[in-house]
Amino acid sequence: MAKIVPFKAVRPTKDKAGMVASRPYEDYSVGELKAQLEYNPFSFLHIINPGYKFQHEITGEKRFQLVKNRYLEFKEEEIFIQDPSACYYFYKIVTRTKMFSGIIAAASVQDYEDNLIKRHEDTIAYRENLFKDYLKVVGFNTEPVLLTYPDSEVIDNLMKKVMQGEPEYEFSTYNKETHYLWKICEPESVNQIKSEFESMPTLYIADGHHRSASSYLLAKESKDANPNHTGNEPYNYFMSFLISESKLQIYEYNRLIKDLNGLSKEEFLMQLDLWFRIESRGLEVYTPSKKHQFNMYLDGEFYSLYLRKTNYEFTDSLSSLDTYILYQKVLKPILNIQDLRDDDRIAYIHGRNDLIEIKTQVDNGNFAVGFGMLPLTIDEIKKVADEGLTMPPKSTYIEPKLRSGLTVYEF
């Protein structure tokens, strides 16, 4: 059974929530970042980019300590306050086309270790340890791991009831999103939520594999260093945003390759023909309609690629994934892309962008060929996790993406 508990969040005051909340640091262009730091003194970006105060780029442990200092300043200036009692937080995001709602809570590191919280992606040890060290120095986390759970009528009904009331926060952003947050602190509702999660045998990580792994490492290290460890310390949990499976939005990641690995166009097509039935679509923007079908753009033409299933052996859930098929039969053997994470010959465009973006990038000479496919389903992701397998990197782009700084979890 999953242990999902309330916590005492550190949060911006109601009047400053919209100014504090920020997108992930890497989402900002240089100009946007400069404008936010220059004209918005309440932006959470000031905490995670502490060198701006000194007009100096700072890295490593020195940066970690300055991040902590900026955070403490926000608390001292009462931009941030902490809730007096442990609460769950219902969070809703409304965009021009979609609506997401879920629960911000603390998930158990023990559940992660026991594989009650299942993962489907490999992590890189260096990144795990770097973020673990960061968490240890700063003493807080503000980027929740995205977890998904089976649809629950109990939780849905409680959300509907709570969301009829006035939210703690309501603010809009420049990209025309509206964000809402409600506190749930009443014992009856808290126990109802806790009990409902306890009835669920398994949860799945949708996004945030490195964050959860780093939290696990920090918990293990803190436990070993604490002779009075009880299991109830804050380091035994990590902040999560839990959303039901039907509310997740899963996009594909399309692939762009810079060259054909020394092959001519004709040689490349001939090698593809071993595994795929190929049809030229000319300038028609072809979108796959079924699994194991791919879009390809090469030398001014779109192509459809259909996997020759009589030649291909499906052995497990991983071998059935289109991202795996493309890697094993095209990227690795033909184009010599061995490392999907670090090879600078490959780039990724998530499926929120139109396939025309692939055409534009190839036509401009930035890349030689592009591939598109259908997004994975939640059932495919769960099967891979249930079998203890890991998907190729950049197999999914999953929404929602939360703003940083609305709820902070302290260790």
Q: Are 245 and 331 found together in one domain?
A: no
Stronger pLDDT, 342 or 45, i.e. the higher one: 45
Q: Are 96 and 244 found together in one domain?
A: yes
pLDDT confidence bin for 56, thresholds 50/70/90 = low
Q: Are 235 and 102 found together in one domain?
A: yes
Range scoring the smallest mean pLDDT among 17-21, 27-31, 207-211, 251-255: 27-31
Q: Does some domain include residue 230?
A: yes
pLDDT tens, residue by residue, 131-145: 999 999 999 999 999
Q: Whole domain around residue 301: which residue ranges?
A: 253-394
**CA pair distance 66, 60, nearest whole angstrom:** 10
Strands (E), 174-333: 178-184, 203-207, 237-244, 249-251, 253-257, 276-282, 293-298, 301-307
Q: Are 261 and 200 found together in one domain?
A: no
Q: Is 43 within 8 Å of 22 (Cβ atoms)?
A: yes
pLDDT tens, residue by residue, 137-178: 999 999 999 999 999 999 999 999 999 999 999 999 988 999
Q: Are 101 and 200 found together in one domain?
A: yes
Q: Are 99 and 241 found together in one domain?
A: yes
Average pLDDT of span 116-130:
92
Q: Is 356 within 8 Å of 285 (Cβ atoms)?
A: yes
Q: Are 111 and 194 found together in one domain?
A: yes
The pLDDT, as a whole number, for residue 349 is 92
Q: Are 237 and 264 found together in one domain?
A: no
pTM (two decimals): 0.93
Residue 307: give its domain's CATH number: 3.30.1760
Q: Does some domain include residue 22?
A: no
Q: Are 361 and 237 found together in one domain?
A: no
Q: Are 313 and 386 found together in one domain?
A: yes
Q: Are 230 and 287 found together in one domain?
A: no
Q: Does some domain include residue 294?
A: yes
Using alpha carbons, list the distances in angstroms from residue 246 to 76, 158, 377: 41, 17, 10
Q: Are 123 and 171 found together in one domain?
A: yes
Task: Give yes or no for residue 95 having a pLDDT over 70.
Answer: yes
pLDDT confidence bin for 29, thresholds 50/70/90 = confident
Mean confidence (pLDDT) of the chain: 94
pLDDT confidence bin for 397, thresholds 50/70/90 = very high
Q: Structurally, how many domains does the chain consist of?
A: 2
For residue 314, count CB atoms less than 10 angstroms from its CB and return exposed for 0-12, middle for 13-18, buried for 19 or more: exposed
Q: Does some domain include residue 26?
A: no
